[in-house]
Structure 1
């Protein structure tokens, strides 16, 4: 047995769906506007997890060009039946009063793919999941939305039978559960355990009132009774708990017959979760009335999980990424779309990542930007960029990025009076600023750039030789690179991005030699 500290997937890894196939465990999480879509982590011991693949790797499966921040891929569901992996996901185009949400299914014989072209399911709402019943029949459960005045915008959970031969849902959708008094009912998962069908749903909204509720029925189409003492897990009204925002959960049975539950969570610093929404895990037992409960009692998320496996938890990450392979390292993603050779090249200069400058950091179309998640409160990120800007519309550098309306950008650029300069572009909820005076770097064509985070503080550094680093500007506010700084429809997390802009439209290029990511705590 090994005690595992929560969260098990640190940094932006929300809406977990867990699956066991034999001795292998997989967790799929949401990726929103980041491409490729859906992260799948793998583990043998529920202790150490490795990012394995991202299945939605082509535009025919995932077209997000023009999608706003925190839209794109929501709440995947990963299942397996008779030699086939199934992945359901939502592509969200709008997330305000009207929610334009389209649900799809892809399949694969191997978890690493290739994954099929998508099968369209419906557009009732979001968070679809696929349930494989014991009799071989399959069902899709989805939350449904309602935009009308006087109606709940989260209108309940609908059930449809899915016909794999026809490649579509068959029959009329049936509303099987309206939710509890907590409201905001979403993220449904169905299970057939013993004589009951259990329905788990996320409720309360995905911020500090988040929760996971349970209902059950003898029949798959209801009626469903609510679990006494709901919710199963929540942090609401307990700001002292280190694990907050607990909800959006999924169950898995381990090899020894015991149960575990993964769920979304956040770890706030001064009420801001800079690492985004993460994934934790809890031990689950069934009480004498056959309701699932957190082991040890109560519904507060525990900070440790008892894994039945003996394993040594991995330590802090210290990794030096180079660009001498045919593909980007697996930890990197791009915004909204795959970047072709006209934007991103690993061939143009051997051993370097070349980015051809495209649109501004505020664009929801073509950004020449690649990013890696922040997964520790204290970390250092360093890169070297070769760039020869000749206009202020030429920029390249290292960004501390949440979205198009929230970032810091340590950039190498040009000023018509000063010449080549280092400067910081700040965007706070859409308000732009350049808080510090530019630093002249003479005729330099190479710079080393560094970002250091220390919980609520972020610092920026530069070097001309890669040895002596000089802080640029003053300590700055890292809390704003978080969901909590924006509104209740911001759902992603902090990235460190390598970026290049040429807002003249002629594709001025920058070459990046490496990215070094070091966790300090």
Structure 2
């Protein structure tokens, strides 16, 4: 028996009296990317908690990139990169690291493209450190902001410019002298003022990273995502290397340690701690990890990864068991993550949220605008049960659509759409302003879009009504649009293949999100939004 397999079996039997299931009886070889069965949550959405004391990945399906985890007593909080989706900086809560529910969106003010951030608690106050890519042409294209609050639920302050430029992926740490620091990409670090709101010195280089073997197929060296923890007399630096997308084997988790926050840093002999070794594995580009102690004292790594064949869903949140070796190093125990694991605690809890329905309260927790203007929240209002959306732009590309995260491999969405004169509105799958598909209602006809362009051959069906019900069916990246006029049956409009609507084609680190748009003048009203996950036989445990 190999050492790695022996440690995996040791973890699996930690729970007293727990018998190994057939799925947990051996470490994965990572040669079969067949999806594992999952449990069903709201509207049939997939859920990692199997209900029998085990879980499968993802623990939080859909686009949850660059997860950063804060353990605060018995509570766990996660925040994610939000890029150009606003309200931004979504925060989720858990008690068991497997089941998560939304808390709030901490940032309402558009300040640019939000990359990998960090959440921290210092004293009795909470902080979120936010790297922001400013619009093209800005004299300071990359800057760091901070927001703070008395509780993770808020209220959160307006963003404060820390005047730390050209750095990404901050990681908060406190040294042995009680002083605060931010670690950044490239092995850099800056000391903070005691209030944590500004730098107290210059950026300095403190860590060179782990030398990646020459035969690894990676996107680039890309030392980033540093997270620092203090345990048993050591400071541990957990970081990402290899590039966050590109080839499936790019991203990885590495570790180093030091007796002092000031170094020197010694690389872990088990590096890379986590890595996708083969394109045949179920999870690609695994990295950007936080090491966190679970509610039962066991340790875990939370990070993101692309699902094999479903880059369109974005980077999903994964959970892997780890151990501290007898010589004090972190070592992952989950292999290719193609087997169920024992949960940190047996009991379950609420998870996720319904995606059906429309309300102003959903904006931020569920619905977000893409690349909005400063007055974006004023565009939405309720008219009874209907969400009215003021039109903007000329097509979905510049309409700042209202989108949500879908984490299922297959699903369908229906919605009623009513338009004013001069308005075009409808249902879309949106990656960015250059890459989307959808179907909308205009004054004289339906407007169909594919690869970010209006379809002309053939054009959408001639329709003179001002109200229509639309349906989108995404069957594992093959999308079909339907429409139905009042009192008439569904009609199929067209189908689109969308597997290429992802970061490796279009850049931007985003995901393909369903949502609503209203372009032109006037407004559109949306009602009766229904989301249903679709599954195949054997998908559900």
- Partner of 1:478 in structure 2? 498
- 1:229 is the counterpart of 2:277: no
CA contact (8 A) 1:6 1:305 kept: no
- Partner of 1:189 in structure 2? 227
- 1:370 is the counterpart of 2:409: no
Provide, for residues 432-458 of structure 1, a one-character-per-residue CA deviation record: whole Å limited to 9, x for no partner.
Answer: 54453321223x121001111011211
Following the alignment from structure 1 to structure 2, what is the Cα–Cα distance between the partners of residues 199 and 100?
Answer: 27
Shift of 1:360: 3.4
Shift of 1:11: 0.8
Following the alignment from structure 1 to structure 2, what is the Cα–Cα distance between the partners of residues 451 and 105?
Answer: 39
Pair 1:322–1:167, CA change in 2 (3 A): closer
Residue of 309, 315, 318 corresponding to 2:345: 309
- 1:344 is the counterpart of 2:379: yes
Residue of 123, 132, 140 corresponding to 2:174: 132
Provide, for residues 209-234 of structure 1, a one-character-per-residue CA deviation record: whole Å limited to 9, x for no partner.
Answer: 11111111122121212111311101
CA contact (8 A) 1:344 1:368 kept: no
Residue of 418, 424, 432 corresponding to 1:395: 424
Following the alignment from structure 1 to structure 2, what is the Cα–Cα distance between the partners of residues 385 and 281?
Answer: 39
Following the alignment from structure 2 to structure 1, what is the Cα–Cα distance between the partners of residues 171 and 519?
Answer: 39
TM-score, normalising length: structure 2: 0.81
Pair 1:360–1:200, CA change in 2 (3 A): farther
Following the alignment from structure 2 to structure 1, what is the Cα–Cα distance between the partners of residues 77 and 487?
Answer: 40
Residue of 467, 490, 510 corresponding to 1:446: 467
CA contact (8 A) 2:413 2:530 kept: yes
Following the alignment from structure 1 to structure 2, what is the Cα–Cα distance between the partners of residues 342 and 308?
Answer: 39
Residue of 384, 394, 399 corresponding to 1:360: 394
Shift of 1:304: 3.6
SS in 1 for 2:116: strand
CA contact (8 A) 2:296 2:345 kept: no
Shift of 1:312: 4.2
- The within-5 A match list for 1:218-297 is 218-236=259-277, 238-269=278-309, 272-295=310-333
- Partner of 1:82 in structure 2? 123
- Partner of 1:214 in structure 2? 255
- The within-5 A match list for 1:111-190 is 111-121=152-162, 122-133=164-175, 135-143=177-185, 156-165=186-195, 167-182=197-212, 183-190=221-228
SS in 2 for 1:172: coil
- 1:514 is the counterpart of 2:528: yes
What 5-or-longer segments of structure 2 have no aligned partner? 1-14, 16-52, 213-220, 536-541
Higher helix share: 2
Higher strand share: 1
Shift of 1:10: 1.0
What 5-or-longer segments of structure 1 have no aligned partner? 65-71, 144-155, 415-419
- Partner of 2:476 in structure 1? 455
SS in 2 for 1:222: coil
Following the alignment from structure 1 to structure 2, what is the Cα–Cα distance between the partners of residues 120 and 477?
Answer: 42
Pair 1:406–1:84, CA change in 2 (3 A): same
- Partner of 1:67 in structure 2? none
Following the alignment from structure 1 to structure 2, what is the Cα–Cα distance between the partners of residues 225 and 313?
Answer: 40
- Pairs aligned (count): 471
Following the alignment from structure 1 to structure 2, what is the Cα–Cα distance between the partners of residues 31 and 352?
Answer: 27
Provide, for residues 248-283 of structure 1, a one-character-per-residue CA deviation record: whole Å limited to 9, x for no partner.
Answer: 1111112332211101101032xx511011110111
Following the alignment from structure 2 to structure 1, what is the Cα–Cα distance between the partners of residues 332 and 196?
Answer: 40
SS in 2 for 1:485: helix
Shift of 1:87: 0.7
Pair 1:320–1:117, CA change in 2 (3 A): closer
Shift of 1:373: 1.4
Following the alignment from structure 1 to structure 2, what is the Cα–Cα distance between the partners of residues 435 and 425?
Answer: 11
Pair 1:326–1:202, CA change in 2 (3 A): closer
- 1:382 is the counterpart of 2:414: yes
Following the alignment from structure 2 to structure 1, what is the Cα–Cα distance between the partners of residues 351 and 207?
Answer: 43
Following the alignment from structure 2 to structure 1, what is the Cα–Cα distance between the partners of residues 199 and 268?
Answer: 29
- The within-5 A match list for 1:431-442 is 433-442=455-464
CA contact (8 A) 1:357 1:501 kept: yes
- Partner of 1:148 in structure 2? none
CA contact (8 A) 1:319 1:517 kept: yes
Following the alignment from structure 1 to structure 2, what is the Cα–Cα distance between the partners of residues 252 and 95?
Answer: 37
CA contact (8 A) 2:68 2:117 kept: yes
Residue of 64, 80, 94 corresponding to 1:29: 80
SS in 1 for 2:202: strand
Following the alignment from structure 1 to structure 2, what is the Cα–Cα distance between the partners of residues 202 and 466?
Answer: 55
